[in-house]
Amino acid sequence: MTVFDTLCSRRRAMACVALTWPAARCAAARGTVPASNAPALALLSPAPADIDPSGYLVSEKLDGVRAFWDGRQLRFRSGRPVPAPAWFIQALPPIALDGELWGGRGRFDVVSGTVRRSAPDDAGWRALRLMVFDLPGAAGDFATRAAQITDAVRGASSAVLSAIEQTLLPDHAALQRRLDSVVRGGGEGLVLHRADALWAPGRSQALLKLKPVQDAEAKVLAHERGRGRLADVMGALRVRTVDGVEFRVGSGFSDEQRRQPPPLGSWITYTHRGLTPTGVPRFASYLRPHDAEL
Catalytic residue numbers read 61
Cβ neighbours for 157, distance < 8 A, ≥ 6 positions apart: none
At 250, the amino acid letter reads G
71: alpha, beta or left, given left = phi > 0 and alpha = psi -120 to 50?
A: left
Q: Which amino acid is at 192?
A: L
Edge-to-edge order in the sheet of strand 189-194:
42-46, 202-210, 189-194, 56-61
Number of H helices, E strands in the chain: 8, 14
With CA atoms as reference, report the closest residue to 182 among 212, 208, 143.
Answer: 212
Query: Which secondary structure element, helix H or strand E, spans residue 143, and what is its range?
Result: helix 142-156
